[in-house]
Structure 1
């Protein structure tokens, strides 16, 4: 397995060498997915998995910075054609931003501020920030993270600096006059207690709170409510009992005949998990990690699944009647790989078009994503 994965990585490295330092706007327009048709009121939303810079990822970003700091733009360039063409793009920043020069990977992650700039340049509009690493550097880490995202022009959901921020949903404009609420929650914080007197600092998964927040966001004018959940069992491709049960209850909740939640996006398992339509609402149990260092299994052997992920792409169309829900008219997943050797995010469909030997990896991700029958509900694989 290790030999095979290294062969794949070397093949990808050769393909990526020529364009690694170029911005992804040099990609051929014909390879880019089109946004929703103008004038229809429809919009496309894309979402990707965890950005989790281990030490090896930090080393690569420092190398790409060429002696002038960290640069995550080349690392993310492979995702830019999908991300930048969407009407709304959401990422998951799993780590906090460290103090000047105080950056580290596992077990207490503290990332350089340049990661936020790299995400913004790639085309992301906002990030979920509630994760089990939200308190890796205490309250100061939360403040630095949100301050940095603010300076990068990105919205954020899941952690807060003050109580009022914790009570307010992030509202993003997906299209003219279309507002999307983004909510974010985590299963826990790796044993780190919530700051004394600041229970709003990190949003923890609580079914009643999630639904109350979703309904409040709807009353505040949100046409679409998206919920990011940091949940599941690490290294497990199948969604666990908690994920299945909570997804069922959240998607069944409605106010009148309108569901309270329109899309659920999962992270934390560190490997791709299934997509499924539950009670008429799309649930991504696990997007996988978009950027992360090498993952090992219980025996200490390299687990290549830890560097595989998907981007979910959903096209929303306006309600068919006043007061109805925005409908997902097209649901897609885009298989990705973070190439450890090249230090680059790779769109596997594009890599196949360029002759890379990644068919087995792409098909394995596809099998996992479709393992709960999503194809029957219209989910398709995109580039």
Structure 2
């Protein structure tokens, strides 16, 4: 908390915000402000567990032979600078030594939570279609581990009483509530007696949660929502309809979406920013499409005005580097990716060092394609969603 807002210069690819912001007359004298960084799904596939084992042998760090720190280190300069950094923990965690499972019944190493905290995340949404995949025991284990490493959480609960609590954090002197809702899993539906274990997507329930947050003193309410269709870069009709209802019928200040595993637009709707999907923060699907490796960190600056809060939106492109699959004994081409890594694309392009032209071409494609998807509902116009070089 209390991190410097001067990072907008240091971070670069996070841009000047909303052109339709408040006039000077509306800016509150001595008004408060804070920044929020948010990213997409954290989805630990088996290949990433293998990478963490490989890295642990090199670093001697981690726990039980797994170190996810090197995998995530590329986003630390951005995430750690936000006053509030929000991740989406897609799956339940197991015990440090496993066993672990991949798709569709994910059970992932708890060591990833230590890495998320290490790069600067403060709190995570935990409501997803995988939340209850291993029952209430895994829900409890996940939240216990998050408590242990110092990560906040919202969206799932260990008891009915906890399900009614609201995650409110003090951010630069502002009480900020974080809510999280998701659609239900058809693979492992939650039994009726434990339906309180995670928040199901419902406009009425979102309204009730916001009301509880406001009653507890929340001045800003941020909603994380797990919705839409996988692998579609455009929001679905139900997403668009729900976004309309949220922005018309609630006072929620920002909506952060995920689940599609690809980037979808950021749009200012009825005065509220909606990030329909920020893609994957980290994942390694068994059949990578290129799009599933691309993601965005949303960067939102809140400024207090005489009428409430003005929010400007920016973004930073990310990419998960994937090493080539080689036959036993074969050598990778010169300049090829050697390890799975989450890459800050703009930083790599602005300071390429000895990176090969092939890798730079891949980063340029990610940057261009991500911006295209983000802008696809008009944000680069009057809404002011932009991106610029880290050297500006």
Q: TM-score range by the shorter chain?
A: 0.7 to 0.9
Q: Flag structure 1 segments of 5+ consecutive residues without an equivalent.
A: 1-27, 255-259, 297-301
Deviation at 1:380, TM superposition (A): 1.2
Shift of 1:333: 1.0
Taking the aligned partners of 1:280 and 1:139, their CA distance within structure 2 comes to: 38
Kept in 1, the 8 Å contact 2:320–2:340? The answer is: yes
* CA contact 1:223–1:326 (8 Å) conserved in 2: no
Q: How does 1:232-381 map to 2 (within 5 A)?
A: 232-254=228-250, 260-294=251-285, 296=287, 302-320=288-306, 324-328=307-311, 330-341=312-323, 342-355=339-352, 356-357=360-361, 358-376=363-381, 377-381=383-387
In the alignment, the residues of structure 2 paired with residue 267 and residue 277 of structure 1 have an alpha-carbon distance, to the nearest angstrom, of 17
- Corresponding position: 1:157 with 2:154: yes
Aligned to 2:139: 142
Checking the alignment, whether the CA contact within 8 Å between 1:337 and 1:348 is kept in structure 2 is yes
SS in structure 1 opposite 2:196? coil
* CA distance in structure 1 between the partners assigned to 2:8 and 2:15 by the alignment: 12
Aligned equivalent of 2:11, options 9, 32, 57:
32
Distance 2:379 2:9 in 1: 27
Cross-structure match for 2:328: none
1:311 Cα offset (Å): 0.4
Distance 1:196 1:286 in 2: 29
Distance in structure 2 (CA, Å) of the matches to 1:77 and 1:240: 33
In structure 2, how many angstroms separate the alpha carbons of the residues matched to 1:311 and 1:195? 35
Aligned to 2:356: none
Structure-2 separation of matches of 1:319 and 1:166: 33
**TM-score (normalizing by structure 2):** 0.83
Q: Is the 8 A contact 1:35 1:86 kept in 2?
A: no
- Higher relative CO (CA 8 A, sep ≥ 6), structure 1 or 2? 2
Cα 1:191–1:152 shift into 2, 3 Å: same
**Count of aligned pairs:** 339
TM-score (norm 1): 0.85
Distance 1:64-1:29 versus aligned 2 partners, 3 A rule = farther
Partner of 1:217: 213
Match of 1:228 among 224, 229, 239: 224
What are structure 2's unaligned runs of at least 5 residues? 1-6, 17-29, 324-338, 353-359
Alpha-carbon separation, structure 2, partners of 1:308 and 1:35 = 19
Aligned counterparts of 2:317 and 2:31: Cα–Cα separation in 1:
28
Change (3 A) 1:251 1:333: same
Following superposition, the deviation at residue 107 of structure 1 comes to 1.6
Tell me whether 57-66 or 244-253 shows the greater mean CA deviation: 57-66
Query: Deviation per CA, 1:31-85, whole angstroms, max 9, x where unpaired?
Result: 436999xx75110001001010011011111111227521111111111111000
CA drift at 1:191: 3.0
User: In 2, are the aligned partners of 1:187 and 1:204 still within 8 Å (CA)?
Assistant: yes
Partner of 2:98: 101
Q: CA RMSD in A?
A: 2.0
